[in-house]
Amino acid sequence: MSLIITWYGQSAFGLEADGKRILIDPFLSGNPILETDPDTVNPDTILLTHAHNDHVGDTVAIAKRTGATVIATFELANFIGSQGVENVIGGNHGGTVPFDGGTAKFTPAWHTSSYNHNGTVVAPGIPAGFVVRFGGKTLYFSGDTALFMDMQLIADEELDVAVIPIGDLFTMGPKDAVKAAKFLRAGTVIPCHYNTFPAIEQDAEAFKADVEEQTASRALVLKPGESAEL
Ligand code: NI
Ligand code: MN
């Protein structure tokens, strides 16, 4: 079974395997690093790590058009549901949610979670990451987070892939992300949440070199819009 991952910039990823499609944090329209028409994606499942606008993105429009199931922490799932999305599943840290083709386990993340909804700031739910089992692989999407020691527990999930932010300012920067890679012991590390705007500019190739020098993982640097088979 082949598993294809696509990076849409920031923390937006697509996964496709066995005719099933997942989107994670689909910030597609208005993404400064890559503009993707949200009408061109057709997920069965959408995973949201937290409520910030650069993660929720086009979730409501995509879910309404496709009928995709949105999985998020309890309060955020309810908030998405309150906007007319029919299929939402709320969970919380430590819990596992089955979806069409796989499962998603909620992990902690050290971050905040708010949302500018038509000019009003609301704060539905707390941030999370996901351990996703899909397409024969186990992938960790940390969401926006600082480095934290409990990533060593997430390594026990035997990760094929770890997707972690390197942008600094709002999340861990590259030095802490190398430490995260040490903790996570994934086969492949994919950096995200960088170069979307000037405040989070980073050298992903330097990060890749550090990961491959200091850990047993390989690093995969995707260009915005690029896909790779895992
Ligand atoms: Ni955030
Ligand atoms: Mn973010």
The domain spans of the chain are 4-229
Distance 170 CA to ligand 2 centre (A): 7
CA dihedral 84, 14, 3, 162 (to 10 degrees): -110
Distance 1 CA to ligand 2 centre (A): 31
Distance 49 CA to ligand 1 centre (A): 9
Tokens of 88: 């939402």
Integer Cα distance of 166 and 191 in angstroms:
6
Distance 150 CA to ligand 2 centre (A): 21
Integer Cα distance of 139 and 161 in angstroms:
5
- Write down the pLDDT at residue 1: 73
How do the pLDDT tens digits run along the chain, 230 residues long? 799 999 999 999 999 999 999 999 999 999 999 999 999 999 999 999 999 999 999 999 999 999 999 999 999 999 999 999 999 999 999 999 999 999 999 999 999 999 999 999 988 989 999 999 999 999 999 999 999 999 999 999 999 999 999 999 999 999 999 999 999 999 999 999 999 999 999 999 999 999 999 999 999 999 999 999 99
Starting from the CA of residue 10, give the closest ligand: 2
Distance 77 CA to ligand 1 centre (A): 16
Across the beta sheet with 188-192, the strand order is 96-99, 102-108, 128-134, 137-141, 161-165, 188-192, 218-219
- Write down the pLDDT at residue 90: 98
- Write down the pLDDT at residue 133: 98
Distance 1 CA to ligand 1 centre (A): 33
CB 42 within 8 A of CB 63: no
Distance 125 CA to ligand 1 centre (A): 12
4-229: CATH topology is: Metallo-beta-lactamase; Chain A (3.60.15)
Distance 5 CA to ligand 1 centre (A): 21
